[in-house]
């Protein structure tokens, strides 16, 4: 008869194949995660905080999937191979992954999902962040940031356009779109100094408001 360790490892292989980041049940002699099995992004330092966060989120998502399997749930992939961007659970929940574009989440098929402005503002989501959307059986949308991109802060001036009723911010000679909900929260006004969070390694049309001075 298979041991519990064998059964758990088989469940992990069935779900993740060669992409598992670590053994599910480590032996008493080696309780820590195997460093050789931890994946890091290319050309980035191993001690990079954002990459560590991404790895931790991936491990957590994998463990969640294993627990669902052990509880008798079946995960049906909408993609035969490659990275799974959408999953439908036997319980009726649907899991979708995509990237934040400054205002919405876009999945691999280009479908858009509106992210609540209050959540995006509070979480200071940055254009390019990897997100997970859980659609429950009753139709509720639950968003979660699972892969933040590297960030940097820039300081600029808040501009209000009376014709459109929208705010923008000019920083380092570039105009960034900002969420109105963020400006409202910080009680910002035209001409105020604003601190934005933007992607470190890529251009973006949007900036997340970190503070208004």
What are the chain's domains? 1-73 (no CATH), 77-149 (no CATH), 151-212 (2.40.50.140)
pTM beyond 0.85: no
> In the predicted model, is pLDDT for residue 47 greater than 90?
no
By percentage, how much of the chain surpasses pLDDT 70? 59
Greatest alpha-carbon span in the chain: 73
Percentage of the chain exceeding pLDDT 90: 52
- Apex CA 70: angle with CA 60 and CA 90, to 5°? 90
Mean pLDDT over residues 104-133, rounded? Answer: 94
Q: Which residue has the higher pLDDT, 83 or 122?
A: 122
* Banded model confidence at residue 46, pLDDT cuts 50, 70, 90: very low
How many CB atoms lie under 10 A from the CB of residue 12? 22
pLDDT higher than 80, residue 175: yes
Is the pLDDT at 145 greater than 90? The verdict is yes
């Amino acid at each position: 008869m298979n041991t519990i360790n064998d059964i758990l490892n088989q469940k992990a292989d069935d779900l993740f194949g060669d992409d598992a980041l670590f053994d599910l049940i480590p032996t008493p002699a080696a309780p820590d995660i195997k460093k050789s099995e931890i994946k890091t992004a290319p050309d980035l330092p191993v001690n990079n905080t954002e990459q560590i966060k991404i790895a931790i989120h991936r491990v957590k998502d994998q463990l969640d999937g294993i627990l669902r399997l052990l509880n008798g749930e079946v995960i049906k992939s909408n993609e035969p191979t490659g990275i799974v961007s959408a999953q439908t659970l036997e319980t009726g929940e649907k899991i979708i992954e995509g990237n934040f574009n400054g205002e919405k989440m876009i999945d691999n098929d280009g479908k858009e999902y509106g992210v609540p402005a209050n959540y995006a503002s509070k979480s200071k989501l940055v254009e390019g962040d990897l997100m997970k959307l859980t659609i429950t059986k009753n139709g509720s949308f639950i968003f979660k940031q699972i892969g933040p991109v590297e960030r940097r802060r820039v300081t600029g001036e808040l501009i209000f356009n009376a014709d459109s009723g929208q705010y923008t911010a000019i920083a380092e000679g570039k105009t960034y779109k900002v969420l109105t909900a963020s400006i409202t929260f910080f009680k910002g006004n035209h001409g105020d100094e604003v601190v934005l969070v933007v992607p470190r390694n890529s251009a973006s049309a949007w900036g997340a408001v970190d503070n208004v001075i």
